[in-house]
Structure 1
Amino acid sequence: MVLKALTNKKWVAVAALASLSMTTLAGCTGSTNGSAKTEGATTSKPAADSDKSKTEPKKPLDVTIMLPNYKPTFPKDDGLVAKEIEKLTNVDMHFEWVPNNTYPDKFNITLASGKLPMVMVVQAKNSSFINAVRSGAFWELGPYMKDYPNLSKANAIVNNNISIDGKIYGLYRSRPLGRNGIMYRKDWLKNVGLQEPKTIDEFYNMLKAFKEKDPDQNGKNDTYGMAISKFTGPFDIMEIWFGLPNKWGQDASGKLLPTHLMPEYMDALKFFKKLYDEKLINADFAVMDTAKWNDPLANGQAGVIVDVTDNAARLEDKIHEVLKKAGKDDPSKQYMELMGAVSGPKGLRNMPTSGYAGMVSISKSGVKTEEELRRVLAFLDKMNEADLQTLAERGIEGKHYTKVEGGIEIVKDTALLEGEVEGLNQFTSFIPESRSLKVKPTPLRLKSEAVQKANESIVVPNPAEPLISNVYTKQGAQLDLMISDARTKYIVGQIDEAGVKAAIELWKKSGGDEYIKEINELYAAIKK
């Protein structure tokens, strides 16, 4: 195992270094123009067939792709950017877009049906995916990746994190480790006379002021502190501030325990409930569509969001767009600001990504033969070339962005971007690195990069990240739901602290105790 000899502290350093290498590695590969040459390097064919393929190009490969959408509108099969990607890769893409907040349910339903699209975005290495892998629903990709110029450079630590029973069943979607942070309205903070928060208490004071002190100076009581949606990642991130581990941590004896069994857990829940009771977060957070999560900030209703820091630039653009339509915009003004974390009982701490945000997997029901598998892998490999990454992430020059000194500038037409570009990068793995054209650095984007880099020194690793529990594989979905439901019910006042404790006891009796026992056995095995 890659992590066998590493302590937690060393793991953070190695993982941070691995994340850095993914973004700085200058490994330009022997890229090709056109899919026939790429595929020729990865398939075994008789010489006569190879000669024939040069004069008779293969028919475009039909590829069905299931992926999440985060916006109300999304690119269609015949969209301008999609068609350009198809032309460069010799495929016909057919998208199955699913709203992000319902993606886990749709994913499970699709797995249960047995009729899977060829390519699927897998958002988490959860029990349903592990069960599907073990039942033979997905291709093992590890033995093939060495044959492709980009995929062969995948990071070993991240591959270890996504592995199941020591094997690779997807292409990880590369992400910086220190990506999470706090974004807030810079002008609002100035208007209420506060400085950037340094502690949890000061963070609370900022949210309270954003509700009670008329931060937009319109003379109305029409604002609140922080926007949260059905995606409860912000709660997970904030729990780390309170000294909690990242999913699993050690108790005083060195035994691994899940977050909700740690003494600081109720401290975090009481803080979240306080925010809800004082109406510092939106009352409908448990049902708010993730696609609308940014709207309260863009529309001047809320002043804070806890999310990936690169969202700050997108929020900035949306705020300018809304204000411009209202005739109130100052183009030279920076409305958003960002930071990494606030200090809690154990100092500055933050939740990292795992070096990836899910993976892109290939189903056996959609891809029947090894030859077809290699064609799909050639397509996904080619999506990592600079021109294809740029198409998927930025769109087409002159239409969706323009080149300027120091980078590119994205058009300010949100509807155009959402309808033709945004979301197409969901099936791009960015292996071994991001090569797409970079947006011209603005103070906000430079700050985001700096915060993500600084976060690498304060992220809290999950020691159980690569461990595959049989108990969790069978019962993980139900066990997770027990805890997440109890957390939400406590926050909104449907149960009290005794109710949380009762839910935890039920979790233990329903397989939780066995889960803890198995995780510790697996953890002990990799430390030997």
Structure 2
Amino acid sequence: MNSKLSAKKKWMAAAVLTSLSLAAMIGCSSGKQTAAGGNKGDAVAQEPMNISIMLPNFKPAFPKDDGPVAKEIEKLTNTDIHFEWVPNNTYPDKFNITLASGKLPMVMVVQEKNASFINAARSGAFWEVGPYMKDYPNLSKANPIVNNNISIDGKIYGIYRSRPLGRNGIVYRKDWLENVGLQPPKTIDDFYNMLKAFKEKDPDKNGKNDTYGMVISKFTGPFDIMQIWFGAPNKWGQDATGKLVPAHETPEYMDALRFFKKLYDEKLINADFAVMDTAKYNDPIINNQAGAMVDVTDNAARLDDKIHQALQKAGKDAPNKQFMDIIGAVSGPKGLHNLPTSGYAGMVSISKTGVKTEQELRRVLAFLDKMNEQELSTLAERGIEGKHYTKLEGGFIETSKDSNLMEGEVEGFNQFVAFIPETRTLPVKTTPVRKKSDEVQKSNEPIIVANPAEPLVSNVYTQKGAQLDTMISDARTKYIVGQIDEAGFKAAVELWKKSGGDDYVKEINDLYKAIKK
């Protein structure tokens, strides 16, 4: 009798365990999933999922795990999140070190599809998420062209972070331009004259020789953008025979390089650009030291806000004054051209060391999918209503002007939001500079220069890409600051070729021919 009872108990225990296992599997299966897994209507709520996220921060301060916005995100997504913030300036190094360690957080922001990431993806360090995206209401609407751009060997190893294609432009001090009596620049020469006036004509009217034209940091984006004005290709261009050639081997690239050196020699840009921390990139404009930057156009609104905040603290604010203005590009020898984004700014990838099962993967994907909804994307980008922003008429909001509050509790969370299929964040009240930014981004689209090799994945580049890129980037910097001349730059290019560059060019052309057939 006892043995029969014991057997019955074992059978019942097994049945209960089976039922629980099935419930867990159903909760993490595809379909109408709630955040972090689980279907609406589940009888028993799942325990919050522990998620670790590595992401860059662009300010000295950053939100804490127990901050109000972080806790609200956790509440709405049934998660317990640890955010590993890394200064943007050192993020590439930290990313590579983390990959090499083999101990990856569950979710990582991947800033670029570089050799280290490609190698890691191919070796199985990250989940291939392409086959799963169709099961989620927002991720299933991802742009197929952008997905193709981020793919590796036709496979998708992350959720791209959506960005406007025509986002790059010239951001400058409108009040300074008015003070020196110039019109907005239309050509490269006009742009040069503006920077020269910002240095020599006392644009801030303080009677001191303490200003310069344009700020540039360690981030090489401004040079990449400006060389397009001269007619240089976007990374790869075609010669007369249709062969793809790297941008740095074109005469237009050298024309741009001479222009950069001229700006440096005449002290129209900051002498410390090669070592300037990107976290301090905005400071010279806010502090009345520099008058322009070549950057994303939406930074103009942020700069405008920061200038007003600085003036408020000093008791000198002019609330209705617009300090910043924007231009998409200036005309060069070959007309009006601009560097596009690739439709994305890196991606959010899921590691296999942090997420070991398909069930866990689906819960993380459900979490990332839900972050695209209006409530959560607004929370991640704007914060909490009543504390970090106020709702206005017309569906707009006004964000807090307390920079310490915003940096310490809000700014940075949007780094892991994909904004797919579109940005649903509650919009900030339209100002002239924000409206101008939107207009410029749209007007940029017809003049952007595509990279014909964008979706191609080179094995040579995977192995040697970081080294090859550094060789050209270092040579460019050395030329600009006068450490080498044109002969020295050409010698660096020859070394690039011998170090794998020739093999890289050949492979890219072979891959390009294959997709053109």
Using structure 1 for the length normalisation, give the TM-score: 0.91
Give, in whole Å, the separation in 2 of the partners of 1:443 and 1:338.
11
SS of the residue aligned with 1:54? coil
Look up the match of 1:228. 216
CA displacement at 1:59 relative to structure 2? 1.1
Instruction: Tell me the secondary structure at the aligned position of residue 457 of structure 1.
Output: helix
1:274, 1:443 → 2: CA distance?
33
Question: Displacement of 1:494 after TM fit?
Answer: 1.1
Q: Does 1:511 align with 2:485?
A: no
CA–CA distance in structure 1, aligned partners of residues 39 and 321 of structure 2: 60
Partner of 1:522: 511
Alignment match, 2:167: 179
* 1: CA distance, partners of 2:25 / 2:414: 24
Report the AA paired with residue 488 of structure 1.
T
Per-residue CA deviation, residues 413-442 of structure 1 (Å, 9 max, x unaligned), is: 111111111110000001111111011111
Partner residue in 2 for 1:441: 430
In the alignment, does 2:315 pair up with 1:315? no
CA contact (8 A) 2:328 2:338 kept: yes
Equivalent pair of 1:229/1:289 in contact (CA under 8 Å): yes
> Which of 200, 219, 226 in structure 1 is aligned with 2:188?
200
Indicate the SS of the match to 2:42. helix
Tell me how far apart the structure 1 counterparts of residues 390 and 54 of structure 2 sit (CA, whole Å).
Answer: 30
Match of 2:410 in 1: 421
The answer to whether 1:389 aligns with 2:377 is yes
Gapped runs of 5+ residues in structure 1? 1-35
Separation in 1 of the partners of 2:298 and 2:42? 43
State, as a whole percentage, how many aligned pairs show the same letter.
Answer: 79
Please tell me whether the aligned partners of residues 181 and 307 of structure 1 are also in contact (alpha carbons under 8 angstroms): yes
Partner of 1:253: 241
Q: Using the TM superposition, give the Cα deviation of residue 493 of structure 1 relative to its aligned residue in structure 2, in angstroms.
A: 1.2
Contact 1:38 1:378 in 2 (8 A): no
Q: Distance in 1 between matches of 2:312 and 2:207?
A: 21
- Indicate which of 49, 57, 63 corresponds to 1:75: 63
Name the amino acid aligned to 1:386.
Q
Secondary structure at the residue paired with 2:446?
Answer: coil
Equivalent positions of 1:359-398 (< 5 A) are 359-398=347-386
Counterparts of 1:9-408 in structure 2, within 5 Å, are 42=30, 54-406=42-394, 407-408=396-397
Structure-1 residue corresponding to 2:3: none
Letter in 2 for 1:475: K
Q: What's the offset of the Cα at 1:55?
A: 3.6
8 Å Cα contact 1:120-1:361 kept in structure 2: yes
SS of 1:165 mapped into structure 2 = coil
- Give the Cα separation in 2 of the matches to 1:67 and 1:257: 34
Q: SS at the partner of 2:453?
A: coil
Q: Using a 3 Å threshold, how does the CA distance of structure 1 residues 450 and 51 change in structure 2: closer, same or farther? A: closer
Separation (CA, whole Å) in 2 of partners of 1:258 and 1:232: 17
Q: Are 1:497 and 2:483 counterparts? A: no
Q: Do 2:106 and 2:355's aligned partners in 1 also have CA atoms closer than 8 Å? A: yes
| Contact 2:177–2:184 (Cα < 8 Å) also in 1 | yes
Out of 436, 453, 459, the residue aligned to residue 448 of structure 2 is: 459
Contact 1:43 1:374 in 2 (8 A): no
Distance in 1, matches of 2:144 and 2:320, equals 44
**Kept in 2: contact 1:68–1:121 (CA 8 A):** yes
Q: Return the offset for 1:368.
A: 0.6
Deviations 1:120-169 (A, max 9, x none): 00011111100001111000001111111111111100000000000110
- Whole-angstrom distance in 2 between the partners of 1:458 and 1:51: 46
* Aligned residue identity for 1:466: P
RMSD (CA atoms): 1.8
The aligned residue for residue 469 of structure 2 is 480
Return the offset for 1:54.
2.9
Structure 1 equivalent of residue 459 of structure 2: 470
Cα-to-partner distance string for 1:285-338 (whole Å, 9 max, x where unaligned): 111111110000011111001111000000000011111222222111111000
Using the TM superposition, name which of 398-407 and 344-353 deviates more: 398-407
After TM superposition, the score normalised by the length of structure 2 is 0.93
Q: Secondary structure at the match of 1:526?
A: helix
Q: Tell me the SS of whatever aligns to 1:368.
A: coil
Give deviations 1:193-214, integer Å, cap 9, x for gaps: 1100000011000001000000
The separation in 2 between residues aligned to 1:357 and 1:337, in whole angstroms, is 24
Structure 2 unaligned blocks of 5 or more = 1-23
> What is the alpha-carbon distance in structure 2 between the residues aligned to residue 437 and residue 492 of structure 1?
44
Question: How far apart, in 2, do the equivalents of 1:51 and 1:405 lie?
Answer: 35
Q: CA separation in 1, counterparts of 2:25 and 2:266?
A: 62
Deviations 1:433-458 (A, max 9, x none): 11110111111111100000000000
Check the 8 A contact 1:151/1:381 in 2, yes or no.
Answer: yes
Find the residue that maps to 2:504 and give its secondary structure: helix
**Contact 1:43–1:371 under 8 Å retained in 2:** no
- 1:359 is paired with a residue of what secondary structure? strand
